[in-house]
């Protein structure tokens, strides 16, 4: 058996331009929660879940995934983009099981991590040519697996950062229209490790699960409509959100955590405005606002939504290493507000992205 794992992701600055793309960037970080896949030989193509649910398929494109949407999407996307895989799959089958420590639908890229894990497990097990199926190509195929096979409107941060690990400035220049693989640039990931102050994050999940694709679909459709006609409020909002990422990078490289925090706060304000503009009257969500306010009252340098909004998770940054204090404050605030399903924990940046073990 081969075992593959990857870390969760926090979008620190610049989101949701990771879903809108164009001429924008994010600062995104891999963090110390992981999900993964195990793969071994089998007669057919077998998928297994941690709850022992199992399904077996012929060794070909999967038409009905029987609930194994993530696994089937990864297989189908590889068959579409890597002809070598179709030949190898006809020669032998595999059993693939998935697992995760990442809270579901929480804005931490949990689904994307599992798509990537299945793709990477297949690549390793079938010994696919890593010159043509390298990590950049794998990230691009993962995005297409979710968008084209699962119907989830999504961008690229969640597919690149878990693979490469660390904290990075990720540029999506030239990726606005989601052109076919090879007809647009790869994302550009600039590692910031060793150049910026040490960071840890306090994360709190709201307990409100949502489908990020539903939110991104409304945003992206309106944004593209405005781009086609050349004007509109989302174009201006996206420009300002993109600015938070490059200004935040400048601040981090200078060790100016106060300005870094100011950009995070600005990003959150813009997210609220963008979501309301796109027809979400509650913006990022009452639970998200409650947690952000509690983090700020407890002395956080900054706090912001990570993910699409309407629920999910927030992260907070402390200037003085008091992340555990922030976590306690968030739990107490949640209890006062009657938010019984939140989880609050401290996570380091995961410098290790994709891991493979025999």
R_g (Cα) of the chain, nearest Å: 20
Per-residue pLDDT, 217: 87
Query: Are the C-beta atoms of 212 and 154 separated by less than 8 Å?
Result: yes
Per-residue pLDDT, 321: 83
Domain 2-192+352-357 grouped into CATH 3.30.230.10: yes
- Locate the domains of the chain by residue range: 2-192+352-357, 200-348
Proportion of the chain in helix, strand, coil states, percent, rounded to 5: 40, 25, 35
| pLDDT tens profile 219-243 | 899 999 999 999 999 999 999 999 9
| Cα→Cα distances 62→34, 46, 73, 276, Å | 27, 12, 8, 38
Q: Read off φ and ψ for residue 28, nearest 5 degrees.
A: -130, 150
What is the model's pTM? 0.95
Q: CA-to-CA distance for 288 and 275, rounded, in angstroms? A: 13
Per-residue pLDDT, 308: 65
Q: Which residues contact 221 (CB under 8 A, 6 or more apart)?
A: none
Structure tokens belonging to residue 358: 């025999």
What is the CB neighbour count within 10 angstroms for residue 186?
Answer: 19
Structure tokens belonging to residue 71: 């696994």
Per-residue pLDDT, 304: 95
| pLDDT tens profile 106-134 | 889 999 999 999 999 999 999 999 999 99
Q: CA-to-CA distance for 27 and 15, rounded, in angstroms? A: 8
* Averaged pLDDT, 85-90: 96
Which stretch of 86-95, 107-116, 281-290 has the lowest confidence by average pLDDT? 281-290
* Averaged pLDDT, 11-27: 86
Q: Which residues contact 237 (CB under 8 A, 6 or more apart)?
A: 270, 273, 274, 277
Coil vs helix vs strand at 27: strand
Superfamily covering domain 200-348: GHMP kinase, C-terminal domain (3.30.70.890)
Q: CA-to-CA distance for 349 and 192, rounded, in angstroms? A: 11
Per-residue pLDDT, 209: 65
pLDDT at residue 157 is higher than 80: yes
Q: CA-to-CA distance for 275 and 345, rounded, in angstroms? A: 27
For the chain, what is the mean pLDDT? Answer: 92
| pLDDT tens profile 308-356 | 666 778 999 997 888 999 999 999 998 888 888 888 999 999 999 999 9
| pLDDT tens profile 192-225 | 999 999 999 999 987 766 667 788 888 899 999 9
pLDDT more than 70, % of the chain: 97
Q: Are strands 167-171 and 45-48 parallel, antiparallel or unpaired?
A: unpaired
Among all chains, which residue has been given the structure tokens 């010994």?
127
Query: Are the C-beta atoms of 314 and 288 separated by less than 8 Å?
Result: yes
Per-residue pLDDT, 285: 87
């Amino acid at each position: 058996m081969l075992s593959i794992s990857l870390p969760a992701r926090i979008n620190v600055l610049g989101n949701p331009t990771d879903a809108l793309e164009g001429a924008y960037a994010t600062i995104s970080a891999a963090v110390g929660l992981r999900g993964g896949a195990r793969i071994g030989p089998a007669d057919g193509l077998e998928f297994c879940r941690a709850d022992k649910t199992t399904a077996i398929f012929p060794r070909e494109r999967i038409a009905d995934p029987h609930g194994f949407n993530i696994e089937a999407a990864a297989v189908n996307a590889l068959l579409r983009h890597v002809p070598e895989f179709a030949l190898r799959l006809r020669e032998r089958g595999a059993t693939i099981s998935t697992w995760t420590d990442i809270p579901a639908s929480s804005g931490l890229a949990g689904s994307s991590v599992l798509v990537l894990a299945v793709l990477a497990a297949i690549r390793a097990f079938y010994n696919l040519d890593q010159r043509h199926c390298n990590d950049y190509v794998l990230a691009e195929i993962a995005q297409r697996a979710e968008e084209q096979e699962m119907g989830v409107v999504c961008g690229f941060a969640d597919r690149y950062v878990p693979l490469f690990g660390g904290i990075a400035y990720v540029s999506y220049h030239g990726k606005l229209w989601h052109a076919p693989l090879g007809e647009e640039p790869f994302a550009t990931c600039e590692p910031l490790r060793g150049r910026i102050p040490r960071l840890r994050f306090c994360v709190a999940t709201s307990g409100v699960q949502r489908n990020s694709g539903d939110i991104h679909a409304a945003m992206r459709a309106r944004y593209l409509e405005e781009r086609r006609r050349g004007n509109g409020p989302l174009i201006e909002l996206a420009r300002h959100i993109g600015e938070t990422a490059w200004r935040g990078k400048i601040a981090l490289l200078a060790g100016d955590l106060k300005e870094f925090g100011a950009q995070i706060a600005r990003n959150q304000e813009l997210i609220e405005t963008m979501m309301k503009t796109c027809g979400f009257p509650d913006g990022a969500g009452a639970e998200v606002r409650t947690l952000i306010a509690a983090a700020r009252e407890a002395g956080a340098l900054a706090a912001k939504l990570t993910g699409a909004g309407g629920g999910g998770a927030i992260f907070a940054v402390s200037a003085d290493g008091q992340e555990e204090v922030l976590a306690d404050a968030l739990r107490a605030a949640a209890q006062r507000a009657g938010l019984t399903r939140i989880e609050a924990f401290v996570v380091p940046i995961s410098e290790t992205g994709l891991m493979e073990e025999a």
